[in-house]
Structure 1
Amino acid sequence: MDAIRIVKDEHFAIAAVLHALRHQIRAIRGGASPDFPLLHAILDYIVSYPDHWHHPKEDRFLFAAVRRRAPEAEALIARLEREHALGYPMIEMLKRQLVCYEAGDEGAAEDFFATAERYATLEYGHLQTEEEQLLPLAERVLTADDWREIDAAFRENDNPLFGIKPKEEAERLYQRILELAPPPIGYGR
C-alpha cells in the first residue's frame, strides 16, 4: 500500500513546515527580527502542496474509497473534508495578514500570529486524525483493487485535478524553507 507510506511522508513534510512556522513565531515573539522571506516560503508551500496537491488526492481517492466500503465512517470523512475546506481560506487570510505585517500595519503581527496558530492547530489535529483513525480503517476495509487505484493516484507526479506538476514546485519550496530556516537548537524544541 504505497499510498499509506506516501500519505505519511507527506504528513511528515507538512508537519515540518508547520513546525518551522511556529518556530518563527516563537522567535519573533522572543525578540528576533521577522524573517519575511521564510514566512512567505512557508505559506507558498502550504498553498502549493497540502491545499492543491495532498488534500485533493485524499478527498478524491482515499476518502471516496473508504466512504464506499465503510458507510459508518461518513461522519469521520465529512469532518476531514470540512477541515480541508477550512484550511484554504485560513491560508489566504494568513497571506493577506503577512503582507500587512510586513508593511508595518498596527496589530498585523498579532493577527498573523493568532491565525497561524489556529491554522497549525487545525492541521496538526487533522493529520493526527487521519493517521490514527482514517488510515487504520482504510487498511481494514479497502480491497486490493481499491488500493491499486489509490496507490496509482498517490504515486503519480501529475495532479489529475489541475493538470500540473505541483509536487516539483512543492519540493523546491520545501528545500527553500529548509535553507532559510535556522537549524534546530535541540531535538524536540
Structure 2
Amino acid sequence: MKPEAIQIIRDEHLAISAVLYSLRYLVKEMRRGAAPNFAVLRAILDYIVSYPDRWHHPKEDKYLFAAVRRRTREADGLIARLEREHALGYPMVDELKKQLVAFQSGASGARDAFFTAADRYTELEWEHLRTEEDVFLPIAERVLDAEQWAEIAAAFRENDNPLFGIKPREEAEALYQRILKLAPAPIGFGSNG
C-alpha cells in the first residue's frame, strides 16, 4: 500500500498541473487572437505564488527531500536539481507578474514577452513535476519507512498555522475555484459536443 503522503503530493501536483494547463491554454488562445482574460491570468499567478511557491515546494524541501537525504546519498544530485528548480520558479513567477502588468498596460512587446515567460515557466514546472513523480518518488518510496512517511504526511496535511491564522489549503482552494469559474472551458471539456 502506498504511503498517504505520496497521494497527498500527487493530488497537489494534479491541482498545480491543472492551473499550469489553464495558463498554457489561455496563452495558446491569445496567440490565436482571443482577447486576454486578465482576471483569470492574475488569479493563476496568485495561485502559483500562494500555493506551490509558498506551501508545496517548501514542504518538499524541508520534509520530503530532507528525509530522503538522511537515508541515502543516491538521490543527492537529483534533490539538488529539484531544489534549484524550486528556487528558479520564484523569480520566474515575479517576472511573469511584471510581464502581465506590462501586457495589460499595452507596453510595446509585453504581450509576446508574457507569452514567452509563461511558456518557459510551464515547461519548467511540468518537467519538474514529472521528475518528482517518475524519478524521485520511487526512490523515496523505496528508502523511507512508515514513520518517516507519517511525518511527511502530517506536514503536508497541515491546514493552519495557528500563530498567523494562515489556512493555506483554504486559500489555495478558493483561488483554484476562482480560476475554474473565470477560465473558459477548453473545447471538449464541460460541453456536450
TM-score normalised by L of structure 1: 0.95
Cα shift readout 1:28-79 (whole Å, capped 9, x = no counterpart): 1111100000000000000000000100110000000011111111000000
Conserved in 2, the CA contact under 8 Å of 1:3 and 1:151? yes
1:164 Cα deviation from its structure 2 partner = 2.1
AA paired with 2:74? E
Q: 2:144 aligns with which of 142, 145, 158?
A: 142
Aligned length: 187
AA paired with 1:21? L
**Structure 2, unaligned stretches of length 5 or more?**
none
Q: 1:147 to 1:83 in 2, by over 3 A?
A: same
The residue aligned with 1:182 is 184
Q: 2:119 aligns with which of 105, 117, 120?
A: 117
DSSP-derived class of the 2:75 partner: helix
Mapping of residues 17-96 of structure 1, within 5 Å: 17-96=19-98
1:161 Cα deviation from its structure 2 partner = 11
**Structure 1, unaligned stretches of length 5 or more?**
none
Conserved in 1, the CA contact under 8 Å of 2:5 and 2:150? no
Alignment root-mean-square deviation, CA:
1.5
DSSP-derived class of the 1:71 partner: coil
Cα shift readout 1:97-131 (whole Å, capped 9, x = no counterpart): 10000000000011110011000000000000000
Cα shift readout 1:153-173 (whole Å, capped 9, x = no counterpart): 111113599772222111100
CA distance in 2, matches of 1:49, 1:132: 22
AA paired with 1:10? E
Conserved in 2, the CA contact under 8 Å of 1:56 and 1:161? no
CA distance in 2, matches of 1:82, 1:103: 32
DSSP-derived class of the 1:31 partner: coil
The residue aligned with 1:105 is 107
AA paired with 1:133? V
CA distance in 2, matches of 1:116, 1:7: 24
CA distance in 1, matches of 2:164, 2:115: 31
